[in-house]
Amino acid sequence: MSNTERNYQIAKEMYAQLGVDTDAVLQKLTSVPISLHCWQLDDLQGFEFPDIALDGGIAATGSAPGKPEDREMFMRHLDQALDLIPGRIKLALHSIYMNKHGKKIGRNEITPAEFTEWVDYAKGRGIGLDFNPTYFAHPDYDSGSTLTNPDEGIRRFWIEHGIACRRIGDYFGRELGETCITNHWIGDGSKDITVDKLRPRLLLKDSLDQIFAQPLEHNLDSCESKVFGLGSESYVPGSNEFYTEYAAHTGRCIVCLDAGHFHPTESIASKFTSYLAFGDHLQLHVSRPVHWDSDHVVLVDDATREIMEEIASYDAYDKVHIGTDFFDASINRVAAMVIGARSARKALLLAMLRPIQELKRLEYEGNTTKRLALLEEAKMMPAGFIWDYFCMREDVAGSEWIRDLHTR
Ligand code: RNT
Ligand code: ZN
């Protein structure tokens, strides 16, 4: 018996005393998909315009060496990262990771033909795909006004992009046998005081109506809200209230909650049950805001743990679709993707290892003293032994991946 197996046996007995079945936890842990965003690897550069600067009020700061110079290097880095990430994975793409095969194709004209390599890649690795229209970083347009643009021609362009993207999402879902979530986020908003806040929202509503007009079997759309961004400090039409209302009224999309898109003391975890109470699905962008929507690498921190705990507490794995979203260019980008992905999965494990039944029982009894005591005692349980065993079973390196990391 290896050290890892021996340690697991010890931990398993300890958790059993708390009423937690670690074998069942591991079975669940490997099956819950985490949708990893591809754009950590190249600071959201994509392949469409290799030189264009990022805009839309988001930014990847830092200048670590090793940013992929071409598609081949990007794919090599992606393989390196995915090899180090245990558990069921989906990969979230942005439309700018398309392959135009040398043709001149507008972003409003893209089709599955520009993404066939991604489907082959996903099939080869046995992973699912999610998708994102890119309503920013376009040489001809200002991303501060896309789906809310009063210029009908420009708004039309972005509506067509949205429609084209969800058809590609449907193609992903059909090919891979797993529903694709197509996430719509726009950077629209204004830097300063806006007198008419209604008009942009009416335009956005109309744009979404047009984008979502056709039901698609293998695609599920989500809309991601925000409080503010760089250059949209004073007003963002795509707020959480707006999209929540839109989703509830139309039933045409679900809501995506990004951990960095709320006020600093607001936790997205505490919001889940307001949607679950109505049977709604949710998509998550697990991220790490530091003072603002900074998109730092996800860690096993309190905020991430609370997110996972809220899912585990109600067994809501089929309703809450976990995804990541961060872009840090200050450290090795492959390692950043690995750290964030492993941390998200570790936080999920910790949430699953909580003695949920016992905690609920104490709560229903009104024994808030014992509830608090047990919550604190549970934190010192040997979860690391379970994680190591999980990695071993998944045939993915444990903490020794750091030893093999060739970076400063
Ligand atoms: C931006 C949103 C959005 C983007 C991606 C790249 O604030 O979080 O999800 O990060 O579309
Ligand atoms: Zn996001």
Does residue 216 have a pLDDT over 80? yes
Active-site entry in 37, 77, 184, 226: 226
- From 55, 170, 325, 328, the catalytic residue: 325
Q: Is 298 helix (H, G, I), strand (E, B) or coil?
A: coil
Cβ burial of 173 (10 Å; 0-12, 13-18, 19+) is: buried
* Residues around the ion ligand 2 (C-beta < 5 A): 258, 285, 325
Could you identify the residue written with the tokens 């997110």? 307
Average per-residue pLDDT in the chain?
A: 97
Length of the chain: 408
Report how far apart the first and last C-alpha atoms of the chain are (Å, whole number): 35
Which position among 43, 55, 178, 224 bears the catalytic label?
224
pLDDT value at position 203? 98
| pLDDT at residue number 407 | 76
Give yes or no: 185 in active site. yes
Report d(CA 127, CA 108) in Å as an integer: 27
- For a mutational test of ligand 1's pocket, the pick from 138, 225, 258, i.e. the residue with the most ligand atoms closer than 8 A to its C-beta, is 258
The finding on whether 325 has its CB within 6 A of some atom of ligand 1 is yes
| Average pLDDT estimate for 370-396 | 98
Residue that has been written with the tokens 């209604």 in this structure? 198
Note if 224 is an active site residue: yes
Q: Which residues pair with 37 in a beta bridge?
A: 92
Which one, of 81, 205, 122, 223, lies nearest residue 165 by Cα? 223
Q: What angle do CA 258, 260, 266 make, to 5 degrees?
A: 95
pLDDT band at 308 (very low <50, low <70, confident <90, very high): very high
Q: Which residues contact 278 (CB under 8 A, 6 or more apart)?
A: 248
Res. 128: pLDDT tops 80:
yes
Residue bearing the CA closest to ligand 1, atom 11:
185
CA-nearest of 88, 158, 99, 159 to 130 is 88
Residue of 93, 183, 221, 224 with the most ligand 1 atoms within 8 Å of its CB, for mutation: 224
As beta bridge partners, residue 181 has 220
d(CA 279, CA 114): 35
> In the prediction, which pLDDT does 201 show?
98
| DSSP letter for each residue of 318-384 | TTEEEEB-----SS-HHHHHHHHHHHHHHHHHHHHTS-HHHHHHHHHHT-HHHHHHHHHHHTTS-HH
Using alpha carbons, select from 19, 135, 36 the residue that is nearest to residue 78: 36
Averaged pLDDT, 129-135: 99
Per DSSP, the residues of 237-288 read: SS-HHHHHHHHHHH-S-EEEEETTSS-TT--SGGGHHHHHTTT--EEEEB-E
* pLDDT tens by residue, 323-335: 999 999 999 999 9
Indicate whether 6 pLDDT > 80. Answer: yes
> Is 260:57 a contact under the CB 8 Å cutoff?
no
| DSSP character at residue 189 | -
- Ligand 1 atom nearest the C-alpha of 229 is 7
Contact 388, 394 (CB under 8 A): no
Is beta strand 128-132 parallel, antiparallel or unpaired with respect to 288-290? unpaired
Q: What is the pLDDT of residues 244-301, one digit of tens each?
A: 999 999 999 999 999 999 999 999 999 999 999 999 999 999 999 999 999 999 999 9
Question: pLDDT per residue over 93-127, tens digit each?
Answer: 999 999 999 999 999 999 999 999 999 999 999 99
Q: Is residue 408 over pLDDT 80? A: no
The model's pLDDT over 135-145, given as tens digits with 9 standing for 90+, comes to 999 999 999 99
Task: Please check the confidence at residue 404 and state whether its pLDDT lies above 90.
Answer: no
| Rounded-to-integer distance, Cα 375 and Cα 372, Å | 5
Question: Apex CA 297: angle with CA 283 and CA 315, to 5°?
Answer: 35
| Ligand number, closest to the Cα atom of 95 | 1
- CA separation for the pair 257, 284 (Å, rounded): 5
pLDDT at site 273: 98
